[in-house]
Every structure is written in C-alpha cells, then in structure tokens.
Structure 1
C-alpha cells in the first residue's frame, strides 16, 4: 500500500506542474463595485501626515467701520448701539440714527424737545442718557432715555419699533415716574428685556441713593398701549447693571458693585414674578479685588475725564451666563469683564464666577468706559476707550473665542484713533456692543473719538469671531475580521459631524497602505471601500475623520486576520487535456490502485 501512495503522489506532482501552466489556480476576486465607480487603488504612504491644512481653518474676518453720529452739541455723547437683521440703531445725547450695515444713514433726529423723536409725546429740552436694544424675543428695536422736565418731574421715554426694520413706525411712550422714584432727579437709566416684560431702571437722589426698576408688560407695548406695570424701589444703592436676556432665564438678573477702597464682592439680584408680585433675592459673589477707578491721563493735555465709579456699564445674559463689565483700578484704570454662571438661581443652585479678566495692554495704557456682548457660539467682544500719557483717547476692542483659555481675551485692537487731545472733563460715559441677530456671530460696536478740533464724533464698527467648530465623531469601522489573503473585502466607515460638515477619511490598513483623506463624504452616511491583503497575518485597520474645517476625530481601530489556509480549486478542464496528451495515463492509475 505504501508503494501505491508514493506512485499516486508522483503522478499528482506531474499533473500539478502541468496545471500551473494551463490554468489551475488559487481563486481570488480583486474586483468590487462601489456604485458603478471603480475604486482607485490605494497609495503606499507609510509616513502619516498630521499637519493641519490651513486652507481649512475657521472663518475669521477683519473689522469694518464707518462714521456714526457726529457732534450734537451735547457732552458727553453717551454712545450706544443695537444691531438688527439689516440695520443698526444708534443713539447719543442729542440724536437717534438708523444706519444700513454698509454705512448708509437712513435717518437721524434729535431726541429732545417738541421737534425731536419723542416730540409728539410732549418731551421737553432736557432728554439725556439714551439707551437702545434689540429684543431677541420679539425682533423689535427698543429705544429709551430719561427726561427731567421743567416742572421737576421725572420721565422714562420709551419707543418700540413695529418690526425689525427701524424705518417703519414706532410706538412711543412718555411715562411719569416721579412718584415711583421719589423725585424729579432721574439719572443713568437702563433698559432690559426678558420673554414677558420690559424693565426700565434709573437712579434717583432725593432722600438718599435710590434705584428704581419699572416693569412693563411687553405684549401691549408692541401694539401701542401700556398694560400691566409694576415697580420696585431699592434704597441705599444705585447704578446696577441689568441685561438683555436671550432665551428663558429663571429671573431678571441685576449686578451691583460696591464703592469701598477695595472690594471683593459683587451683589447679584434676581427679580421673579415680575408682572404679578415682583420679588427680589440677592447673592453676594466673591470676585477678584477691585477698587474705584482712576481718571485716566491722555496725551497732549492735563485734562482727565471723569470715570465716576465701578458701576457695571454693560451686561448680557445668554446661555446660562451673565456677562458683565466695568472699569476699576485706583492706580491704573482698566476694564474688567466677568462670566458668571447663574446655575438656575434662584430656583435652584447658586451663582459662580466662571471666569474673569482685566483688559491690560501693558505699560501705562488705560482702558475704560467698556461694554460687552456674547454671541450665539460662546465668543464674546468688548469695546472700550484707551489712553495713556503718550496716547490720545481712542476706541479699541478685543475678543475672546469660545475655545480660548479661561480668563483671557485676545489682543487689543485699535478701532479708531483720535486726532488730538480732548479737553472736556467728560468722555463716554459709556459705549455699546451688540450681537448681530442675522448670524449670531458678528459684533457691532460704537464709541467716541475726537477729530482733534475739541468736539467728538462716534464710530460704528463690526468685527467677527470664529465659527466654533466641533470635530467629527470617531468613525465606526464595519467589515469582515477574518478572511483569506489575496481576497478583496469591503469595509464601511461612518463618521458623524455635529455641525453636519462633510467628512474625509484617513485609513491605515495595517499593511503599509494608506487612504489619504478620501472624500468629501456626507456626515453620517456610510462610505464603503475595498482592500486586499496580499499576505497572511493579523492586521489593525485604523481610521480617523476630518471635517471640512480641518478638525479631526479620534482614531478607530479594527483587527482583522488573514489565515494561511487557502481555498484550492481544481480546474477540471485539465482532465480533458491529460486524456488527449496521455491516453494511457488512466490505465496506469487503475493498475496502481488494483496492484496487490
């Protein structure tokens, strides 16, 4: 029997040699259909390129600006701005103006007297300290100022646009608050909104420091009438910051400063149930030490403008945070900013200081009369005056991006330089920053500068943050984990981008071959590709994704094994060939097998 087996192996070896010549093979299938498009073969690139393609960097645009309201004869100007979808509304002492965003002025009018913006409501000649906001809840502009009349009465002047275009009609009101405030000495007003009410506030002085908060039901104001009104008079303090709120806040917040030589607390106020029985709670929040502000020096004159105190000139509540700013510093005045997480207080939780910082350009530069606004993506911008013994008082700004280190702002940028010194003892008294509702990314700002002739002008400018970009999620990899070498297999990759950007895939097959940023492919849609391993063994497929802005995911991996066992398929066509060439071969087989 042993001899039979040896003889058969000799014959089979002879047949195998002939078969290799005539087509018996190891069957492979190196073809795959991807739609009807043939897959391009991978390139061999063992070195991984991890450098970011700067052509895919996030959006960043430069500033744009134009002349705003020019000198009205009032000093200081008290410039303020509100951005709507297609216009900005600006105000100063002595004027209100509507501008298109390309700088075209559509309208300007005085705010005082019988010939001015509130003339039909009976406004007199002493109208001052204007404020303007854009209400994100109703898409209306709201403008206000305070008035001290000749008969010793105090008024709030309020106007509400009929839609998001300021060039239409306005519903205007003149509200006597002499009784509510306790005197005819109204000063330093402010305006705030939430989803249901408009809040008008102001300082009063008769009988000591007082702060009035006058609350109006919003809905009737939109159509020309006054509905529910409530008021709160806080005694012993003044000049709170009160914000425009975006979204649904647990309360209307206010922020109060203190005036000791050194302070480490700000006081937060929360007004609840505003249109029924208004209630107010307070919370003392520890912050970095601050002190009353220095009156800043300027180039070319010994005149220093009055900075008053460390009141919060500007604040906004958005996405759970109260952003606020004031100027402080007895030895060198600097703008300071805060982001305070309100943490659903007073319903639950307590406020916390999330981050803060000073605007300190260095050396002897001062920053003051500051304003702040966040956008819809976590960026924030500030506008302020800056000066030093070697600088005229000019307009500057800075920004922080959502992913900047906590407590930091970007570089200070000069927006508009003055052309000379300013010899009035008043500058500001405030400024404005407003986030553009059309993209929730653009900041519009307005402040004062001097053309060098002893007067003031205002400058309107815009700057842009960056679209915050979320990287795509780590891709999934699906496909066979066992197979045969020299056989093509399909693998599917899928990565979801939170921003719905297109994605590209970088694939390491584990055998030295690389798919180098294949794409673009829609977010969340399967991408199928084939690969053939030419050798046996275990390999690790690794893949990551990158979005169209250049941000990358983490790595995914899948281990695959290509064992040594191969499928051997015999080409039976060789039988006919052998029978033709060797007609006695099969007789030999029978003889060997029958041999005893």
Structure 2
C-alpha cells in the first residue's frame, strides 16, 4: 500500500503565505516534522538496524557566558524559503481499542491549581509564528519557559524574573549560527542531580551548517552564567528532544537529507554531561536508526534517586506501521573508551491495539475541530509525545509516556506506565482517556514521588475553542484509569484560523509536564491556547497543582453523635453534630478547612473549621435523613498539603425529657 505523505515543517509552519506571513516562514528556519516509515519490526539486539553516526566528536565551539540577565540578542539572519519536502507517514488502520476509558470515573474531585498564569505569548517573537513549541521546566526556586524563538524566567508564584527574551540572546558574543540564527524547537530541562538548567535549540541555515546549541547553567540561578556549546550535524537535525540521565544529556533528532528532504531515520546523541557541568570541552557520541523509525524519546530522570549505576538510557518511539506495539532501544555510553559504547534495538514492546488520530499531519488531513470555524488542527499522532518520564522508586523503575489516538472519530490520549524487568520495558498499566466525544491531544505526562500520574493536554470540539486541561490518578486507583475530576486550566477565547490553512492547522508540536524538585509532588504543566480568533496570536499557560496524597500530612477526623428527639416531631437537639480535624503529623488542629456533613444523599451543612479545628453543623432540615441513615457522615476533601479524611457520627435518640441522661444510641 502506498504511503501517505506530508509537507516538511519549514513550509508547514506557515506554508505559502502573503508577504506579511512569509516572513514567519523565514524566521522559523529549517525544522522538519517527521513521521515514522513502515518497517519490519526487528529484534532488540539487531545491530543491523542501527549504526554509528558520523556526527560523533567534540563540540565545534564552547565558552562560558556572562550572566544571562546582562546578555542581548543579536539580529537574526533569516534563511529563505525551501521547496516542499515529503516524509513517510505510518499506516492508520482502524482497530478496536480495548483500554478505552469511556467515563470520567471521578474517585476524587477536580484538582485545584496552586498558581495559574499566562506565560510567553506570540508577541514575544519579532514576527508571528506557529506552532509555538511550548515547553517549561521547574527548578529549586524558578520556572523557565521556552517557545519557538524566546524564553523567560518566572518565580514559583508567577512573577516575572526575566521577561520574554529572544533565545539567541543566550548565545550573545558566542559567534556563529547559535548567536546569529534562531530556528526554534527549543527545549529546557532541570538537571535535578546537579541542580543546573539545560537549554537547547536549533540553529543554522537551510543550506547548512545544521547546528544544535546547548547551554548548561553554572548554578541553580537560570539568570546566571552558562557553559555554552555548539554541535554540528551532517543532515537536517529536526525535532530535537532533550533528556537528562546521569551519564549524559541525550538528544534525539529526526534526520532529513538536506539535498532532497527525504526522511533518513532518527539520530540519538549522548553529550558528555560531566564535562558540560564542568564547563570543559565536551564531545558527543551519536548513532543512527533505520529509516523506519523516527521521533524517539530518551528516558528523562525525575526525582532525586538515580537509576542503577551503569544503567543504559532507554529510548522509545512508535513502532513503524505497527498499531499494537512500541519500539525501544538502549544506549550505553562509555566516555573513557568510546569504542565500547553500544546502541541496540529496536526491541518490540506489545501494547493494546490503537488507531492513530489524524494519520496524515497536513492541512488536508488535520482532524481536530474548533468552535466557530471549519479549520481543523493536526494531532501529531505519528509520534510519542514529550516526555518519556523515568522515576526510580527503589522497589521498581517506572516510565510514563503518551500519544494521540482515535476513538470513535475523536482524538484521545493513550497513556502508559511501563516498568523495567531485567532492563526491558513491560506494560504495567495503559489506558485511553476518552470520557466523552471531545477531542484530547498533544499530551504530556509525569509521575510524582508516590506514583500518582498526571496528564495534561489540549482539548477542543466543534462547539468549543481549544483549551488546556489536566487529569490524573492516585497510585492506589484501579489500573488504566484517570480518576481525578478533569481540571480546565484555561478556556480558550477563540480558534486558530486564517485564510491560509497551510499554516492554520499547526498546533503545539509538543507540551510539557514537569515535577517540582522542591517537594517532588507539585506538577507544572505548560501548553498553548488562543485568547481570540486568529493566527499567530497564541498565548501559553503555566499552571501548578498537587495530586491527592502526595504531600502526605495525614489527617484525623472525629465526629460527635447526632442527638435527635422524635416527639412531638423529629428534631436535632444540642449538642449538635460537631467534627474536629487534626493534622496527625503535627498534632495540631486544622483551621479554615471546609467540612461537608451528609446523611444519605442529603447535604446537611458545609462548615469551615475554627481555630480549634472544630466545625458544628446546625441543619435547617434533614433530620429524617439522619434517622434513616442511623447517623451522618462528615468529609474533608484534603488540600495540597493534607490528605482527605472521613468520619461517621452515630445517631442517638433521646427521651421525651431531654436532660442529657435519658438517651440511648441506635
């Protein structure tokens, strides 16, 4: 069967537009969006499917910058338009998805946000540009966000520390393409083991050289000095994705022939992390995959517990045309003896069958509807979505990742928790989140320190504007389900459309879910939305939240009886139902917390605790419900720092003369 094709990213970013938007195309540089090509699945040790790359070697230039807060962006040289180039696209066979979650199944309330603010907007670019490539990471005290041509630094309360700044300012006075060109696809990560920031983006011209710029902070302060590096590649190095591992910073690319634009396969490079943290000359060791696989993601460390000593970095991607497996590789780098470095794969990981959403990611085959327009958006369902988040729990090693699939004609998020067994990934749980007919796509996923999982994504439908939502699950919840109420971080105020669908179908390219290292519980999600109808007027949103049970202050809830006098008519009598809420870990009462008193389906009261942690319910009605239920239930939902709790107050029927003694319980 003939493969479907799509346009290269450099033209897909804005296509053939009039002069106002043509400059946008010029500004975007040379990035191409890949799609996996049909290939026979190879065994995990089939070295014929991989080979060393000619790009291995030292950085072509490196230095240490002045403080970032003092740097300035050089004027960017803008390469001209390139001809349309085509890349293969995987099969889109329709199959039945056996792990679809068709209802919300909320076992916990929607998660409230801690902070929720606008990040970088399209106005930060010198010219309008889509897609925005929204990405952010969080460090000890700061949040750093990158978009296609800019970055910014925020506090954890959302105040601006460094306003949106052209990304090439990071390479001020560095010289060469890193300083003088800016091609987008930026990524930022926090190296938690070293307490450093790592920022990378594409640079170069359409004719070459093809350059990746990498900067590593010299301290936890994102506005301080950086060790800066540039690495050169023989082929177009598109869609770079960065992951942090103890032995290296791993970069994955999709390779395209610079002469004819043909897709060549993926490339994986290990950058010498130790040397870069030291500010010394660093080398990279690189390998190629076969042309049947693209858009690989490297395992990216969350938490403070590293993987076992000497563990290779696991990389994953969609498995060619397969709709019931993922592919994986293992990269073990040896800096002392590079000849001993190994890159093996692809191995095959069986998963539940799926149908990819929007199989052909071009303007004629985008499938995500938007409110108020016939213009549809693409899903990028031809790849796993950033990140492949790794966490070592001590008892097991876990990875989570997601991609976009089709369920009944709507896009949905397929997510996985994988665990390592003998060094190989196996599926621990998987699910497709499609609780209703709205479209959900462009996801990112992570785990907190107790194994709760959060997924963020874009949401849209023919009746709603593209918005940003998150959902999650507690580690103890039934496998394969997202069980918190769905939280909307921001509702879009418009749709993305214009007279030129070659540009208007582009959305996101990727988003990011990061974990706050200060408590290893707070999750930060970043995505794009439209504040109003238009093209090139996007905003980004940054929000943080905590899933239930991660910040593990246990709570204790006590409840007094409900005293009811039945004659001459049923009524509550003093002392009224009272609950006391206590922090078990500190022994202190919890004031200012809302408690809900219920009997059967009847809500009796919602009362806030006083300084002694007490709340008393004096309902106007509901006495019969208390009698029928033989008492009442009081519930505390919990918050970002305290677990939920429930207690039962029993029913006591008192005699005709209420003297505090003639009572008996039921």
TM-score over 0.5 for the alignment? Answer: yes
1:338 maps to what in 2?
416
What's 1:197 paired with? 248
Report 1:21-40 matches (<5 A). none
Question: Equivalences for 1:21-420 in 2 at 5 Å?
Answer: 62-71=113-122, 72=125, 73-111=128-166, 117=171, 120-122=174-176, 123=178, 124-178=180-234, 183=235, 185-206=236-257, 208-236=263-291, 237-246=293-302, 247-249=306-308, 250-260=311-321, 263-275=323-335, 276=338, 277-282=340-345, 283-294=347-358, 295-314=367-386, 315-319=388-392, 320-329=397-406, 331-345=409-423, 350-362=424-436, 364-409=437-482, 410-420=484-494
**Deviation sequence 1:28-83 (CA, Å, 0-9, x none):** xxxxxxxxxxxxxxxxxxxxxxxxxxxxx999754420110011322110100101
TM-fit CA distance, 1:223: 3.0
Distance 1:361 1:255, change over 3 A: same
Deviation at 1:449, TM superposition (A): 0.7
Q: Give me the whole-angstrom Cα distance separating, in 2, the residues matched to 1:83 and 1:258.
A: 31
Contact 2:110–2:487, Cα closer than 8 Å, also in 1: no
Root-mean-square deviation (CA, aligned residues, Å) is 2.8
Q: Residues 201 and 62 of structure 1: is their aligned pair in 2 closer, same or farther, counting only changes over 3 Å? A: closer
In 2, distance between residues paired with 1:60 and 1:428?
A: 24
Change in 2 beyond 3 A, CA 1:457/1:155? same
The answer on whether the counterparts of 1:313 and 1:325 sit within 8 Å (CA) in structure 2 is yes
Q: In structure 2, the residue corresponding to 1:403 is in which secondary structure?
A: coil
| Deviations 1:232-255, CA, capped at 9 Å, x for gaps | 111212101222124115220111
- What's the TM-score, normalizing by structure 2? 0.59
The 1-side partners of 2:441 and 2:414 are apart by 9
Please identify the structure whose Cα radius of gyration is greater: 1
Does structure 2 conserve the Cα–Cα contact (< 8 Å) formed by 1:58 and 1:549?
Answer: no
Tell me the alpha carbon deviations over residues 389-412 of structure 1, each in whole angstroms, 9 at most, x when there is no partner: 111111111111121211111232
The 1:209–1:467 alpha-carbon spacing in structure 2 relative to 1, beyond 3 Å, is same
SS at match of 1:397: strand
Q: How has the CA–CA distance of structure 1 residues 139 and 305 changed in structure 2, closer, same or farther, with 3 Å as cutoff?
A: same
Query: Structure 1: which 5+ residue stretches go unaligned?
Result: 1-56, 473-498, 505-547, 553-596
The alpha carbon displacement at 1:199 in A equals: 1.0
Number of positions where the alignment pairs a residue of Structure 1 with one of Structure 2: 415
Do the aligned partners of residues 222 and 340 (structure 1) sit closer, same or farther apart at CA in structure 2, a change above 3 Å counting?
Answer: same
1:502 shift after superposition: 7.0
Give, in angstroms, the shift of residue 93 of structure 1. Answer: 0.6
Kindly tell me: are residues 220 and 305 of structure 1, through their superposed partners in 2, closer, same or farther at Cα, counting changes over 3 Å?
same
Query: When the two structures are superposed, what TM-score results if normalisation uses the length of structure 1?
Result: 0.65
**Shift in CA distance, 119/458, structure 1 to aligned 2, threshold 3 Å:** farther
Identify the residue that residue 94 of structure 2 maps to in structure 1. none
Shift of residue 426 of structure 1?
0.8
Measure, in 1, the Cα distance between the counterparts of 2:456 and 2:184.
22
2:8 corresponds to: none
